[in-house]
Amino acid sequence: AQSVAQPEDQVNVAEGNPLTVKCTYSVSGNPYLFWYVQYPNRGLQFLLKYITGDNLVKGSYGFEAEFNKSQTSFHLKKPSALVSDSALYFCAVRDGGAGKSTFGDGTTLTVKP
């Protein structure tokens, strides 16, 4: 069975500071990893994915994520946070290229001016 853990319910950072949202995963085969963002009363929006290749993946809105196979982690990062980045962030792992996605319980990111 596959699973995702987001150990922090809440992350608070000041605007302009770097941010990290943590994610660890468990999957039997090769991991297909994703980050999504959710704004209030909206569906999830895709940010970035890791399938294979370079361990540092770049995505939308200046976000990036680092895949670490030995630590089974896929942390979301951004060098300089914006107030508009405040939202709920979900990490997900997929069972193969076409299988179901399993999501973490989400991390609320708050960026203060």
Binding positions for other proteins, rule: CB under 8 A? 4, 32, 34, 36, 41-46, 49, 51, 90, 94, 97-106
CA angle 52/73/61 to nearest 5° reads 70
CB of 16 to other proteins, least distance (A): 29
Cβ closer to other proteins: 64 or 103?
103
Tokens representing 76? 């979301």
Closest distance to other proteins from the beta carbon of 51 (Å): 5
Nearer to other proteins, 15 or 75 (CB): 75
Exposed, middle or buried: residue 20 (CB in 10 Å: 0-12, 13-18, 19+)? middle
Instruction: List Cβ<8 Å contacts ≥24 apart for 56-62.
Output: 59/35, 61/85
Provide the minimum distance between the beta carbon of 22 and other proteins in the complex, in angstroms, as a whole number.
Answer: 15
CB proximity list for 27: less than 8 A, separation 6 or greater: 2, 3, 93, 95
Q: Quick one: 45 or 80, whose CB is closer to other proteins?
A: 45
Identity of the residue, 80 or 110, whose beta carbon is nearer to other proteins in the bound complex: 110
Least CB distance to other proteins at residue 23 (A): 11
